[in-house]
Structure 1
């Protein structure tokens, strides 16, 4: 319960949930469980309805897929649930940024990598002060 009151890193706080219940309407959910909302009234200075996301788990902006990102930033008028982006055959599946997480890629020789660093070969000459 205290996490919902004070914690913003793992989903919505109680204040956010209250605001969503009062002023927001659920537009859709993506494959990561993030929920996308739009305000019921026009409250922004330019007359557009405000749009926002409530993350499933840790709040990380790279967890928003490109199609929902376009909708959040008013690039697309229709949400991806109504008008999905056409998928090209050369496009890869979307993956969020894993930097700073345990699933991040570490090159061989890195202190965080599980593999051992390859031994130095004969092409390296150590510097010696004179």
Structure 2
């Protein structure tokens, strides 16, 4: 928890406000906590007749760490949170993974400078285009 650093975690003021105005709904596998306001928005608001929904991230604010079922609930696609009505997963679906770009777990293809490897030469059957040929 921080007083001013919203990009690393939720500020003290935001936590106080969310806990005062909202009810805890659930927590996901990554420790993110989800809340819904106790009162519906006024008719002239951006969410007329709907309750605002919030996520407090466990760690840095990284939206890709929100799984599809919680994302759907946050954006009012689903009325019930995944704790009450879990999203059915298809056999071909894999577990949700957050975006690893910029971390040590990011994908680095063969020959990438980030891997520290020497780039392999092109295949012998490759012939570069030559405008004079």
* TM-score in terms of structure 2 length: 0.84
Q: Deviations over 1:68-114 (max 9, x none)?
A: 00000111000000000112111111111111222100111121124
Runs of 4+, deviation exceeding 3 Å: 119-125
* Match in the other structure for 2:64: 62
The number of equivalent residue pairs is 124
Q: CA deviation at 1:6?
A: 1.3
Q: How does 1:1-130 map to 2 (within 5 A)?
A: 4-43=2-41, 45=45, 46-120=48-122, 123=126
Inter-CA distance 66–121: structure 2 relative to 1 (3 Å threshold): closer
Q: 1:10 touches 1:55 (CA, 8 Å); kept in 2? A: no
- Segments of structure 1 that go 5 or more residues without pairing to the other structure are none
Distance 1:57 1:109 in 2: 32
Distance 1:35 1:59 in 2: 12
* TM-score in terms of structure 1 length: 0.85
- Segments of structure 2 that go 5 or more residues without pairing to the other structure are none
- Please provide the CA RMSD for this pair: 1.9
